[in-house]
Structure 1
Amino acid sequence: MTTPLGLSLEQPSPPVTTAQAAELAGSYFGLHGSIAPLAGERDRNFKICEPDGVTWVLKVGHPADSAALSDLQSSALLQVAAADPELPVPRVRKALDGSTEILWTPPAADIQAPCRVRVYSYVPGVPLHTVPASARLRGELGGVLGRLDRALSGFDHPAARHDLIWDASRVTRIADLVDPGDTEVRAALDHVAEHTLPRLVRVRHQMIHNDANPHNVMTEATGRDIVGLIDFGDIVRAPLPQEIATAAAYQLADGSQGLDACLDLVRAYHVLHPLTEEEATTVFDLMVARLILIVVITGWRAERHPHNRDYILRNQHRARLGLERALSVECDEANATILQALETSR
C-alpha cells in the first residue's frame, strides 16, 4: 500500500552509538561529560551532563528530514527565546562554528544521506503522564501553550507548511490506513471531514508546537508545577485552535472527568491567547482528529518497527479510550460547553 507517512516515519531511525554521539558533542559543540541515550520517534537523542552539572540534549536527526525542517525547529526556538525568555522550552546551543547544526553521515552501508546534528538545553523534570492528574497542572499547561503561541504569533519560515502527517487539520490523509472493520474510527473520520475541516479556512493559522502530549510536558518531581515543554519536532503552521485541541485530546482518557478536564486547559489558554467563537467551536472536533491520528498511525508504525513498539504505542491505549469517550458526547453539546467555559474564563 502507498502511504502518506513519509520516509522519516516509514524508515527506522539512524544508527548512532553512544561513542559516536560523544565524539560529535565534543568535536563540534565543545561538550564533554557523561552521556546516555534518550527515547525518540524519528531521531536519535542523547543526554549529555557536563562535570559542572549543566545538561544538554544532542539530537541526530533522521536522514530523511530536510535542512529546512531542521532549521525551522531551531529558528522557532530562537524566536521564542527572544519573545518570551522565561518560557520553559529548550534553548539552542550553537556549534563551535556558530551554526545551529552540523552535518554528519553515520558510517553504515545503507545510510548515504547526512544527518543533521543539533544540541538543545535539557529540560529537567518528570513527564506529566507519570504524576497524578490535577486541575492545577492542566491549567498551567494551557497557560504555557497560550504563552508559546503568543510568542510564535507572526513567526514564519520557508518550511512552515511542511508535509506533516501529525497535522490534525489534514487527518483525512490517513483514511487508507484505517482498518476497514474499525467502524468507530471510520465514522469519526467521516464526521470531522464533513463538519469541521471545511470550517478551518475561517480560523487563524500560525506556527504551533502541535505535540503537547503528556510525554512532552515536564513537571517538577512532586508533580506540583509544569516546568517545561519539549520536542518541537512536529512544529507546523496550522489552525490556531489545533494547539490546545491536541493537548486536550490526551485528557479525555485520564480519569473520569471527560470534557471537564479538557476545559481546564482551554480556559487557561484562552486567557493568554484568546480564541474567537469560530475557533472555539472547532476545538472538540480537532481533539477527535488528533485521537484518530494516534490510534491509526501508531498502530500502523508499531507493526513495521517492532523494535521500537513500546515507545510508538505509549499513547495508543489512552487514545482509544479518549476516542470512545469523545464519541459518546454530542458535538453541538461539547461546543456549547466549551463556549460557556470561555465566556467565564476572562
Structure 2
Amino acid sequence: MRAASAIPEAQAQRLAAEHYGLITAVHRLDSERDQNFRLRSLSGREYVLKIANPAEDRAVINLQTEALLHLAAADPDLPVPRIFPARNGMTELDIAFDDGSTRVVRLLSFLPGTPMHAVTGSAVLRRDLGRCAARLARGLSDFSHRGAHHKLLWDLQHATEVRPLVDAVPAERRGLIEDVLGGFEAHALPVLAQLPSQPVHNDLNPHNVVVDPETCAGVAGIIDFGDLTCTARVNDLAITAAYQVADSDDPLAPACEMIAAYHAALPLGAAELDVLFDLIATRMAMTVVISSWRAARYPANRNYILRNNAAAWARLQRMVKLSRDQARVQIQRACDVE
C-alpha cells in the first residue's frame, strides 16, 4: 500500500482542536502507511493522532480500534494505547481532505518510553517482553470481529506467497531464502491449520515496543496494531522471537529467554513447540524479502522500510547453522519440556 499524500502538521493541529478540543504542539511520526502525529497538550498530556491511509480497508481500521477497546476492558493494566472519543462521541471520524480523499481519524494515548531497538537487551527485559506478549495474546483470545480474517502478506500462514517476490533480494541471498521457505512448507504449513488460532498483534518487533527509560528492564508500551489479524497464535510468538535471535554463536539463547517467559504465562502445546523454529526462521526470511520488494517499489520511504532488513539477514544466517532438531531441543529445554 502506497503512502498517501502528506497531511501538514498544521492541519493535524487544527483537527485536534476542532474534533477533540485539544490545543497542542504537533510532531510528525514515521509511518509506512498512515499519517501519525504526536500531540502535546497545554497540560503536558500526550496523544497520537492517527490519520489512516485512504486505501486502507475500513473494516481493518475498525478491527484495530475495536481490538484496543477490547483490551482496555480485558486487561486494563496492559500497556497498549487507549482510544479517546471525539467531541461527537465517535472513536473513528471520516474526514474529507483537500486532495479529495476521505480518511479515518482516531486519537490514541501516547505511550512514553525508549524504543526497544535503542536499548541494550537483557534477560530481564526479554522475559518481561515474553510475559507481555502472552498477556496480549490472552487479552485478544476471546475477541472477534468481521475484519479479523483479512488477508495480510505479513501473516506467516501465507509465507509461501512471498516466493514471487524473492527476485527483489540480492541474487547471492536467494538460495538461503528458498531453503527456509522450503522448510516452512515441509514442517510448519501442514500443521498450522490445526493449531490454536485467534486475533494477534502480529508485529512485536523492537520498533513496536517501548521500555522503561529509567531501568530499561520492563516493557512500557506495545504500539502499532496495524498488522493485527487472525492466524495461528504461535505465529505471533514466532514473530516476537525472530527479533530476539542474536547475531552470535548461540543465536537462539536470548530468544529462548523470551519464549520461556511466554510459555510460563500461556503454555504452548507440543505441536506449537515443534514448529516454532521453522516459523522464526520463516519470519526472518519474509522480512528480508518483503522489505526488499517494498523498498524497490517505494524508494522515497526506503530507509524506514528497510530498518529491520540487515539485522534479519544477519540473524537468519546464524539460525540456519542450527539443525532443526538442535533448535527444537533448545527451545523445549528452555520451556522445561522434554
Q: Is the contact made by 1:210 and 1:236 (CA closer than 8 Å) also made in structure 2? A: yes
Alignment partners' CA distance in 1, 2:110 and 2:62: 19
The structural deviation recorded for 1:257 is 4.0
In the superposition, relative to structure 1, how do residues 16 and 155 fare at CA in structure 2: closer, same or farther (>3 Å)? same
Per mean C-alpha deviation after superposition, the further-off stretch among 311-320 and 246-255 is: 246-255
Q: Is the contact made by 2:205 and 2:240 (CA closer than 8 Å) also made in structure 1? A: yes
The structural deviation recorded for 1:343 is 2.2
Quick one: which of 329, 332, 338 aligns to 1:339?
332
Match of 2:44 in 1: 53
Alignment partners' CA distance in 2, 1:278 and 1:113: 46
Q: Where does 1:279-318 land on structure 2 (aligned, <5 Å)?
A: 279-318=272-311
Alignment partners' CA distance in 1, 2:181 and 2:104: 35
Aligned-residue sequence identity (percent) comes to 39
Q: Is the contact made by 1:251 and 1:322 (CA closer than 8 Å) also made in structure 2? A: no
Q: Is the contact made by 1:138 and 1:265 (CA closer than 8 Å) also made in structure 2? A: yes
The structural deviation recorded for 1:253 is 3.8
The structural deviation recorded for 1:255 is 5.2
How high is the TM-score relative to the length of structure 2? 0.95
Determine helix, strand or coil for the equivalent of 1:183: helix
Q: Is the contact made by 1:281 and 1:338 (CA closer than 8 Å) also made in structure 2? A: no
Q: Deviations over 1:65-87 (max 9, x none)?
A: 11111110011011111011000
Alignment partners' CA distance in 1, 2:329 and 2:40: 49
The structural deviation recorded for 1:256 is 5.1
Match of 2:26 in 1: 35
Per mean C-alpha deviation after superposition, the further-off stretch among 251-260 and 192-201 is: 251-260
Quick one: which of 70, 73, 80 aligns to 1:79?
70
Q: Where does 1:222-241 land on structure 2 (aligned, <5 Å)?
A: 222=214, 223-241=216-234
Q: Is the contact made by 1:15 and 1:106 (CA closer than 8 Å) also made in structure 2? A: no
Aligned letter for 1:31?
L
In the superposition, relative to structure 1, how do residues 256 and 102 fare at CA in structure 2: closer, same or farther (>3 Å)? farther
Could you say what the CA RMSD is over the residues aligned between the two structures, in angstroms?
A: 1.5
Q: Deviations over 1:238-270 (max 9, x none)?
A: 101111110110122455541011111111111
Please say if 1:131 is aligned against 2:119.
Answer: yes
- The runs of 5 or more residues in structure 2 that have no matched partner are none
Alignment partners' CA distance in 2, 1:206 and 1:221: 32
Q: Deviations over 1:20-79 (max 9, x none)?
A: 111111111222211110011111100000111110000111111111111100110111
Alignment partners' CA distance in 1, 2:87 and 2:34: 22
The structural deviation recorded for 1:289 is 1.5
Aligned letter for 1:132?
T
Determine helix, strand or coil for the equivalent of 1:178: helix
Alignment partners' CA distance in 2, 1:221 and 1:31: 27
Please say if 1:158 is aligned against 2:146.
Answer: yes
Q: Where does 1:146-225 land on structure 2 (aligned, <5 Å)?
A: 146-179=134-167, 181=171, 182-222=174-214, 223-225=216-218
Q: Deviations over 1:124-166 (max 9, x none)?
A: 0010011111111100000001111111111110011111111
Q: Deviations over 1:158-207 (max 9, x none)?
A: 01111111101111111100028311111111111122111112210011
Please say if 1:115 is aligned against 2:103.
Answer: yes
Per mean C-alpha deviation after superposition, the further-off stretch among 11-20 and 129-138 is: 11-20
Alignment partners' CA distance in 1, 2:96 and 2:180: 43
- The runs of 5 or more residues in structure 1 that have no matched partner are 1-7
In the superposition, relative to structure 1, how do residues 213 and 20 fare at CA in structure 2: closer, same or farther (>3 Å)? same
Runs of 4+ in 1 over 3 A off after TM superposition: 253-257
